[in-house]
Amino acid sequence: MQDKTINVLFLCTHNSARSILAEALMNHLGQGRFKGFSAGSSPRDNQQPNPLGLQTLQKAGISIDGLYSKSWYEFALPDAPHMDLVITVCDNAAGEVCPYWPGQPATAHWSYADPSASDGTDAEKLEAFRQTLHAIRRRLELLVSLPAASVTKLMLQTSARELAKS
């Protein structure tokens, strides 16, 4: 795996907040070694990324180009990018039966509260997104710092699952 890009798919229910934040942040931090993707188990019709999530990413200097909500079935198709690691970022998606992922990628679950479910003023809601982005960043910074020479499927899975505890 040391000479190829490591593809990471982040899953949530609607693919509008946490998984979108993780995809954008992975692509920002991954420096070409890691490529982030995101999808939802059941995005609503005409689902769009949460505007507060997009605003949070922009304020953090992270590109939002190309972000859109999509179903996880897009990544189970034969011509879809091959995933090396699949991480659920919400408890609902973690409990669902996932499609078959070609190549049987490593898996992990990182639980985050849904920032789009927070109540309060617009400033408080924006703060919930900022805090979620910060929590995701802490784990992703550790994941992308894994030594390239030693990254294997087993190491990815073990590392990603250990990061869930932090």
Which tens digit of pLDDT belongs to each residue from 76-131?
888 889 999 999 998 775 566 666 677 788 889 999 999 998 888 989 999 999 99
Q: Report pLDDT for 156.
A: 82
Residue 47 has pLDDT above 90, yes or no: no
Q: What is the pLDDT of residues 55-76, one digit of tens each?
A: 999 999 999 999 999 998 888 8
Q: Report pLDDT for 96.
A: 63
CA angle 90, 59, 74 (to 5 degrees): 40
**Which top CATH class is 6-155?**
alpha beta
Domain ranges of the chain: 6-155
This prediction has a pTM of 0.90
Residue 1 has pLDDT above 70, yes or no: no
Integer Cα distance of 71 and 90 in angstroms: 15
